[in-house]
Amino acid sequence: MNNGNLVANPNIEYIYDLDMVWIKHEEIIVDRGIIVTNVKLLDSGGYSFNIKGSDKEYECYYGWAFIENTERNIELLKEIKQENIFLQQKQLKIRELRNNLDRLFEKDNLKSIEIDEIE
């Protein structure tokens, strides 16, 4: 997976890990995870590319949005997605618990305390 600037290779497919593309600075929403081809570095430092099966040229300025389309990277993306779902579920649970604490404090007229104060 690419963590920095992309060394574009127009001869391979990439997974586009962003939900937006640009045509002459106009934003267009796309499905995250689409396959893109013909990725080229532009003089501006951005990238031009085609969505697989289309001749229309799009642009993106983020090299990290292009992930080489390999079995390993597909597995990593699936794992990331699963971990994000798990994290979101935990964040919801934490929010629910905090709301319950707030209600208890209000009900019992208790002073709110910071989590750091709890030992």
Question: Where are the chain's structural domains?
Answer: 14-69, 72-109
Question: What dihedral do alpha carbons 25, 29, 34, 39 form, nearest 10°?
Answer: 0
Contacts of 66 (CB under 8 A, 6+ apart): 2, 6, 8, 14, 15, 16, 17, 36, 39, 47, 49, 60
pTM: 0.66
pLDDT tens digits in sequence order for the chain, 119 residues long: 444 567 888 899 999 999 999 998 889 999 999 999 999 999 988 999 999 999 999 999 999 999 999 999 999 999 999 999 999 999 999 999 888 887 776 666 655 555 555 55
pLDDT of residue 110: 58
Name, in order, each residue with C-beta under 8 angstroms of 58's C-beta and a sequence gap of 6 or more. 21, 22, 23, 28, 36, 48, 49, 50, 51
pLDDT recorded at residue 111: 59
DSSP state of 85: H
Residue 97 C-alpha from the chain's centroid: 27
- H helix intervals, 4-70: none
